[in-house]
Amino acid sequence: MVQIYFLGTGGIMPNRERNVPSIAVRYRGEILLFDAGEGTIRQMNIAKLSPMKIDKIFITHFHGDHYLGLGGLLQTMNLWNRKKPLHIYGPKHTFEFVRNFINSGFFRPVFDIHVHELGEARLKFDGYEVWSFRVEHGIPALGYVFKEKDRRGKFLPEKLKVYGLKPGPLLGKLEREGQIELNGRIIRLEDVTGPRRRGVKLVYTGDTAPCERVVLFSEKADLLIHDATYLVPEDRGESYHSTVEEACEVAKKAKVKLLALFHRAFRYSHDEYLSKATELCDVDFIVPKDFDLLTVESDHWKLGNVLEGAS
């Protein structure tokens, strides 16, 4: 199970309805933060998420609405006497821009900050991977994939009975080691389990014009969080952003299970986005609000809001 907290769903600048981008992904007690627009620490406090639980921050690009909240996060961690290291990932120039924060004012961190500049990379962690990929935004910019490792299939009672296995230490050993010997017979884990279960796949584009690399990396994702800044192309001008229709087309091409329309311009209301997406989208979609909480498993999802309860 993976939980996605939409801490800020707007773009460019905050308005009364929504803050600028930040997404917290909670997995097995760890929080991964994707982007940190201004006010992210306030949004986390409202959502009752501790910044001390963050081990990794992934920045898509260095426009202010995606990273200016880093300063508040780092100084709050310092104030609370953080001890464990923090890892910050981002595109080219990440080291330079994070160093500027650390050297700002009289702030000096009491904990280690490890900065990683990425191109297209595949980072392996305990139980999951994070992939970075290039997007089209006119400056160095990345999208990210969170991919939970595939899990073993469930134990099949009828198979356990055939091999004379019951819940207990022997079954635990089989799960840990992959095979055991019982009564002179080798029993492998796959002999008594069903098909492997596909791990959850989440994709976050950050800011981007529609591009084939997003389609490629989003293939059959459980959730695609895609830039949908504008309702119509004429509002976009020459900026490297996507419209609602373009985001829907990308999701359809990639055969994703659920699309979240994100980075909505401050000039439009939530209802305007919802109406446009209902008109144009041929895929399942949501238009998340600030503090929406999406719980995703490989076979289903549930949407709620930390301020309002589940829906």
Among 166, 118, 83, 245, CA closest to 226: 245
Q: Per the annotation, does 150 bind a ligand?
A: no
* DSSP code string of the chain: -EEEEEEE-EESS--SS--S-EEEEEETTEEEEE---TTHHHHHHHTT--GGGEEEEE----SHHHHTTHHHHHHHHHHTT--S-EEEEESTTHHHHHHHHHTSTT---SS-EEEEE-SSEEEEETTEEEEEEE-BSSSS-EEEEEEEPPBPPPB-HHHHHHHT--SSHHHHHHHHHSEEEETTEEEEGGGSB-SPBPPPEEEE--S-B--HHHHHHTTT-SEEEEE--BSSHHHHTTSS--BHHHHHHHHHHHT-S-EEEESEETTS-HHHHHHHHHHH--S-EE-PPTTEEEEEETTEEEEEETTTEE-
Q: Per the annotation, does 61 bind a ligand?
A: yes
* Cα torsion 76, 78, 81, 83: sign: positive
Q: Per the annotation, does 65 bind a ligand?
A: yes
Query: Beta strand pairing status for 223-227 and 264-265?
Result: unpaired
Task: Find the catalytic residue in 35, 55, 65, 126.
Answer: 65
Q: Per the annotation, does 241 bind a ligand?
A: no
Q: Per the annotation, does 263 bind a ligand?
A: yes
Q: Per the annotation, does 227 bind a ligand?
A: no
Among 4, 11, 1, CA closest to 203: 4
Q: Per the annotation, does 270 bind a ligand?
A: no
Contact 90, 119 (CB under 8 A): no
Q: In whole angstroms, give the CA distance from residue 107 to residue 183.
A: 65
35 catalytic, yes or no? no
Mark the binding-site residues for Zn(2+), compressed into ranges: 61, 63, 65-66, 137, 207, 263
Q: Which residues does the annotation mark as catalytic?
A: 65
Mark the binding-site residues, compressed into ranges: 61, 63, 65-66, 137, 207, 263
